[in-house]
Amino acid sequence: MKAEITDQKGLQRTIQIDVPTDYIKKTMDNTFKEIQKDVEVKGFRKGKAPLDIIKTKYKDYALKEARQDIISAGIDYAIKELDLKVFGPPSIHGKLEELSENTPYTFSFQTDIEPEIELKKYKGLKVSKPSVTVTDQEVEESLKSIQKSRMELTPVLEDRGAQEEDFVTIDFEGFVDGEKLQNGSAQGYRLQIGSKTFIPGFEEGLIGAKVGEERTLNLSFPEDYSPELAGKPVSFKVKIQKLEKPSYPPIDDKLAQDFLKDESKTLNDLKEQFKDFLTRQKEDQAKEVLKENVLNALVKENFVSDIPESLYKQQYQQILHNVHRELSQQGYPQNAIVEYEEKWREDLKKTAENLSKVFLLLEKIAEKENIQVEEKDLSLHLMKEAYAKQTQPDKILEEYKKNDSLNLLLRYLREEKTIQFLIDNAEITEEEKQKEQ
């Protein structure tokens, strides 16, 4: 065989393999012998049919099998012969020709090679972490959310129009460019004035309106709205069907007892529970911020010469998948998602580049520090996932095996273990005040 690099771009190499006829014939002979062992031919015991008959009967099949063996052997040969430190699986480049016993065979494949990675500093990374403080005001806001959840509505009997915090039941219809707005109409829709559920100006435009009154609201969609409507004028025809005012229970021991379903509890008990919950929530947020800061510092302090194209594409496609899924769940139409992708493409590319560098550096550190996923690491993860899904750990494991994704899980666990290693060895300072999330 002969292997030659015919093209290179960044870390990507295109390699041509030339296979002589004698190697092809030898491979074909071995292929026919393997077929002979396994097939049954009428008039002969299994494995005893003459090779001449096998060659005639199974020639086309043997050519396909031999071609695959030659390609696999050729790639292995080229990697060894050219001393390539490959990154990721190679892929065939160009069209594969049919194999012939009496003609030399040529094919090409592409592969990325490993980039140069220099670990300059990964222990003692200087990073900040948000401090975790729960204020009395935050606890009060949580209590108010319970209070609002126990709200009762009563009709407005006095002679007045809608005011802030009132609930109006409305029929409305939206128009853009003289045409009905898709998904822009409803009947019997209950809306609280001041909730900022609708675009700016809609709720404000209903203040003072009385039951039975009709109003036309000429507004504009915000500039940060979905791309196909951002900034456009819109007109809403609205009719008030019902006007109600809210009443709330007092924030006291009774509210705490109802919420906790325990008559022995007091308002202070409820405040303590909320404070504990908010503390845990902020601690989780602080851990995520710390993790992000550590990884950003890791990329900044160390050297990666280039990013393998295959890795970059994988990271970019995963980011796009997540963006499409999240925007779809928020109700964005497909054309709006495509516009969003176009608008933020450069930022998404930078994110993919950064994640690729993080992946390469974590792999290098895990290798250098001999960080391995142990049985207890896998078991703990399976138990947590099983608890969240209300099932058994062995069923979760079976699902990973069934989906052929166990190796992905093990890689994820190794990455997380490596990140924790970096955190454990970092120089962490607490910020005075936690940033708003």
Q: What tens digit of pLDDT does each residue of 42-51 get?
A: 888 888 888 8
Q: Report if residue 69 sits inside a domain.
A: yes
User: Do 77 and 191 have their domain in common?
Assistant: no
Closest CA to 302 of 85, 112, 87, 125: 125
**Which range marks the domain in which residue 269 is found?**
259-306+369-431
Q: Classify residue 169: in a domain, yes or no.
A: yes
Computed over every residue of the chain, the mean pLDDT equals 94
Model pTM score: 0.77
Task: Specify the range with the lowest mean pLDDT, choosing from 30-44, 343-357, 393-407, 412-426.
Answer: 30-44
DSSP reduced 3-state for 180: strand
- Give the residue ranges of DSSP H helices in 209-344: 253-260, 267-301, 309-329, 334-343
What is the total residue count of the chain? 437
Q: Are residues 243 and 264 in the same domain?
A: no
CA-to-CA distance for 321 and 327, rounded, in angstroms?
Answer: 10
Looking at residue 434, what is its pLDDT?
Answer: 47
Average confidence (pLDDT) over 333-358: 93
Model confidence band, residue 435 (pLDDT cutoffs 50, 70, 90): very low
Question: What pLDDT does residue 433 have?
Answer: 61
DSSP state of 228: T
Angle, vertex CA 221, rays to CA 219 and CA 225, nearest 5:
165
Does residue 31 sit in the same domain as residue 172?
no
Contact status, residue 146 vs residue 259, Cβ threshold 8 Å = yes
Output the CA angle 7-77-408, nearest 5 degrees.
85
Mean pLDDT along residues 424-437: 77
For 137-189, write each residue's pLDDT tens digit.
999 999 999 999 999 999 999 999 999 999 999 999 999 999 999 989 999 99
Whether residue 42 is contained in a domain is answered as yes
Residues 296 and 424 in one domain: yes
Mean pLDDT of 412-420: 97
Span 256-287, pLDDT tens digits:
999 999 999 999 999 999 999 999 999 999 99
pLDDT average, residue stretch 75-90: 95
The answer on pLDDT for 306 being more than 60 is: yes
The tally of domains found in the chain comes to 3
Strand runs labelled E in 384-433: 427-431
Proportion of the chain above pLDDT 90, given as a percent:
88
Average confidence (pLDDT) over 294-302: 97
- Confidence check: pLDDT of 436 > 70: no
Q: 233: Cβ–Cβ under 8 A, 6 or more apart, which residues?
A: 176, 218, 219, 220
Residues 203 and 263 in one domain: no
- Specify whether the CB–CB gap between 174 and 236 falls below 8 A: yes
| Same domain flag for 170 and 44 | no
d(CA 147, CA 256): 10
